[in-house]
Amino acid sequence: MMERQEIVMSASIGIALSTTGYHRPEDLIRDADTAMYKAKAAGKARHAVFDRKMHEHAVAQLKLEADLRRAVARDEFVLYYQPIISLQSGSIEGFEALVRWQHPERGLVMPNEFIPIAEETGMINPLGWSVLRNACQQVKIWRESFCKYPDLMLNVNLSGRQFR
């Protein structure tokens, strides 16, 4: 019951103009929906008018998502290790594992391109576990190979979504 209760609402609106030559109503709705998501990404109570760049971006994102699913299955991710240097002694205290995607067509893909998609699609969990497993294997090899560094540490960044 909402008596005497003020309710504040806002709307995000996606606009697709029918004058651009649509042949099927579902294409018009699809593009309006794409524009609505663009409006939502810009903040609350916004609107956006669909343009071809939005469609091209959506298609590219879908392809990247499909590629990402295959990449996780094929283990196409590579870890780079950035040294952590002690400011007091100048010696290496450990490393930070940095994940990169070795895409078969695009080459090296940086995390800012694939991590948000991995989080949205739920692929962040298998990706995160793979990174953690590979990083732990590497630090074990280093500790066995370099016995004088038994306390060598390795930092691994994990997504907040993986903790949930």
DSSP string, 82-143: EEEE-TTT-SEEEEEEEEEEEETTTEEE-HHHHHHHHHHHTTHHHHHHHHHHHHHHHHHHHH
Residue 163, pLDDT above cutoff 70: yes
**41 and 101 part of one domain:** no
Q: At what angle do helices 25-42 and 52-74 cross, to 10 degrees?
A: 80
Comparing 23 with 101, the larger pLDDT belongs to: 101
Q: What are the Cα distances from residue 133, in Å, to 11, 81, 140, 156?
A: 44, 14, 11, 10
- Give domain status of residue 57, yes or no: no
Residue 153, pLDDT above cutoff 60: yes
- CATH number at 135 reads 3.20.20.450
Q: Residue 136's pLDDT is what?
A: 93
Range of the domain at 106: 63-163
**Confidence band, pLDDT 50/70/90 cuts, at residue 67:** very high
- Give domain status of residue 70, yes or no: yes
**Confidence band, pLDDT 50/70/90 cuts, at residue 1:** low
Q: Please, are residues 131 and 99 in contact by the beta-carbon 8 Å criterion?
A: yes
Measure the CA–CA gap between 114 and 68, rounded to whole angstroms.
Answer: 7
Beta bridge partners, 95, equal 83, 154
How many other CB atoms sit within 10 Å of the CB of residue 50?
Answer: 21
Count of domains observed in the chain: 2
Measure the CA–CA gap between 56 and 63, rounded to whole angstroms.
Answer: 11
For the chain, give the percent of residues with pLDDT over 90.
51
**150 and 100 part of one domain:** yes
**35 and 83 part of one domain:** no
For the chain, give the percent of residues with pLDDT over 70.
98
**87 and 20 part of one domain:** no
Beta bridge partners, 85, equal 92
Structure-token pair, residue 72: 């996780």
**142 and 74 part of one domain:** yes
Comparing 138 with 1, the larger pLDDT belongs to: 138
C-alpha closest to that of 58 among 37, 42, 84:
37
Measure the CA–CA gap between 64 and 23, rounded to whole angstroms.
Answer: 28
**96 and 46 part of one domain:** no
Residue 69, pLDDT above cutoff 60: yes
pLDDT in tens, 71-90: 999 999 999 999 999 899 99
Average pLDDT, the chain: 89
pLDDT in tens, 9-53: 889 999 998 876 788 989 889 899 989 988 998 888 899 999 888
